[in-house]
Chain A
Amino acid sequence: MKPPNKANTAGIGRNWAPPVIWFGPAVLLLLAVTLYPTAVVIWLSLSRTRYYDVIGWAGLGNYASVLTSTPFWDLTFNSLVYLTGSLAIVLPLGLFCALALQTMKRGASSLRVLLLLPWTLSMAVVGCFWLWLLNPSYGPISYGMKSVGLTPGLMLGDPGVALLLLIVVTAWWSFPYVMVMMSAALQGVPGELYEAIEIDGGGFWSRLRHVVWPHIDTTLGSTALALSIMYLTLITLILVLTGGGPLGTTSTWSFEVFVDAFRSIDISPSAVISIVVLIVNLLLGLAYLRLTGRVSG
């Protein structure tokens, strides 16, 4: 009675029109807004530029000069210290928080919501809160340090501690993400397993190692990768807290790209750093896909 429907279900494999209609807008958007600029940044990284004007072909010349410059390796060092430092705090903190919440009989879910609050705040807001907390003259933290006999110094203005403080603030903001991921993963641990090991006389660490760990290691890994991507591309928090300073000690690859985009300089070196960020992200993203088994097509 309704032949078009029959054609619709039977003929999908051969008919091009339906997929174009269903996928078209999304694909068009991604081609225009994501893939086209990606091609442009690759082209820019291979060009000679004067400010925002392309004045010639440079081949791999920009890469050679950027990758052999000291500032680039300073940025690389900062990026990696920031990444590993933040992960080293948030992963154990988030995991133990999730484990502790699991032992609570009542109130765990509302506490989880409360603890998740920092993650919902914008980096701009988190940056402002902490900029004020860490204010060397009027902030409560420097007051606390003074009252126990420590010299707070310049806090975020001190080249020796600025990166560490940036890591602490990042951890405050992002550990709830780990907590939520780990709480979700812990729900996959069958209850009988705990009882079995309890009969065997296992303590906390052996339970963590033998019962819990096999069920959460993949999620912990994928969470670490997702956070790595976020830390490496994060700009706003650094901008508000330190502006990349003092003396460039908190400037990362991504922060440099952001600053360069609005500084009156040639954009090709910053295009090279963009490509570096892009490649590192692709590698982390591929590792993430492997780990989560998220394959499409």
Chain B
Amino acid sequence: MRTTPAERLISRLTITALTLVVVGPIAWALVTSLKTEANVITFPPSLLPSPATLASYVAVFREQNFSVELFNSVLYAIASIALTLAVSVPAGYAASRMTFPAKRAVMLLILATSMIPGVALLTPTYFVLDAIGCLNNPVAIIVLQAARLVPQTIWFMQNFVNAVPVGLDEATQVDGATRWQTFTRLILPLIKPGIAAAAVLGVITTWNDYITVAAFAPDIARRTLQVALVNQVFDTIGITWSYVMAFAIVSSIPIVALFLVAQRWFIAGLTAGAVKG
């Protein structure tokens, strides 16, 4: 695309301004996390930590529940994406390759569930979990998180399988492969990028979730890093901003790292639904 010098200048200015707006708050959080407790509340605020200290980070890692919270965050994120993929990849394959009388009804059901917002289900889910004694149950959290990801993931998988020519399936089946073998040996390797995209998006979604865990597993032993972070903000008496910032940063590091490593798949996952094509 050719552009005039004026347009290029305006573009540069826009991008520079936006970059500053995006980086500014993150940088301020980093700077704050490196300050001492006293340095945080000086006025005017000091631009750089003086002295710089890792004390807040040490305090985060030493917090007595930190390892439990980290473990729960990892457990919920990994287990729910594993469950999501285990039920969605076969369903997505079947959606692409099989025809059967009730298929339209099944696909409509999956589509309808994708449009039911989690917030509308907060009250009834609490009601049901309470009735069956599954509040604070980690398995319940994993199943709930997975169910939120399933409709989108099935649709995603269906699209990826659609992109594999049916002729390939038929060729392997002529060679004597069963449908399951076709699925595991032919389709799965070919749709790996799709699985990766769904997994990256799903892990980030579950890791970042606060509501599900806060609502249905508020027990101290079941909390995630996100829940612990929000609780600190509510704890207005003891709040130390350098500590909160360090905690927020530590709780984001795994997800930002995953994003940086897998950004291609993350972007593919984001754009898959909305761009017509």
On chain A, the residues within 8 Å of B275 by CB distance are 181, 184-185, 188, 219
Stretch of A57-65, A67-75, A158-166, A191-199 that contacts chain B: A191-199
B86 contacts A25, C-beta separation under 8 Å: yes
Please report the number of residue pairs spanning A and B whose Cβ atoms sit closer than 8 angstroms: 331
User: Does residue A250 face the partner (Cβ distance < 8 Å to B)?
Assistant: no
Give the size category of A's interface with B: 35 or more
On chain B, the residues within 8 Å of A222 by CB distance are 273-274, 276
On chain B, the residues within 8 Å of A285 by CB distance are 114-115
User: Does residue B165 face the partner (Cβ distance < 8 Å to A)?
Assistant: no
What is the predominant secondary structure among interface residues of chain A facing chain B? helix
User: Does residue A104 face the partner (Cβ distance < 8 Å to B)?
Assistant: yes
Give the size category of B's interface with A: 35 or more
Nearest CB in chain B to that of A195: its residue: B2
Q: Mark A247-291, 1 if CB is under 8 A from B, else 0.
A: 000000010011011100001001100110110011001100101
Nearest CB in chain A to that of B110: its residue: A30
Min C-beta distance of B136 to chain A, whole Å: 14
On chain B, the residues within 8 Å of A34 by CB distance are 113, 116, 121, 147
Interface positions of A (Cβ within 8 A of B) = 1-2, 4-5, 8-9, 12-13, 15-16, 18-19, 21-23, 25-27, 29-38, 40-41, 44, 52, 93, 96-97, 99-104, 111, 113-118, 120-125, 127-133, 135, 137-140, 143, 147, 172, 176-177, 180-181, 184-185, 188, 191, 194-195, 198, 204, 218-219, 222-223, 226, 229, 232-233, 235-236, 239-240, 254, 257-258, 260-262, 267, 270-271, 274-275, 277-278, 281-282, 285-286, 289, 291-294, 296-297
A184 to B44 alpha-carbon distance, docked (Å): 43
User: Does residue B146 face the partner (Cβ distance < 8 Å to A)?
Assistant: yes
A99 contacts B273, C-beta separation under 8 Å: no
Min C-beta distance of A147 to chain B, whole Å: 8
A261 contacts B26, C-beta separation under 8 Å: no
Instruction: List which B116-154 residues lie within 8 A (CB) of chain A.
Output: 116-128, 130, 143-144, 146-147, 150-151, 154
Interface positions of B (Cβ within 8 A of A) = 1-4, 7-8, 10-12, 14-15, 18-19, 21-23, 25-26, 28-29, 32, 40-45, 86-88, 90-91, 93-95, 98-104, 106-111, 113-128, 130, 143-144, 146-147, 150-151, 154-155, 158, 170, 173, 176-179, 204, 207-211, 215, 226, 229-230, 233, 241, 244-245, 248, 251-252, 255-256, 259-260, 263, 266-267, 270-271, 273-277
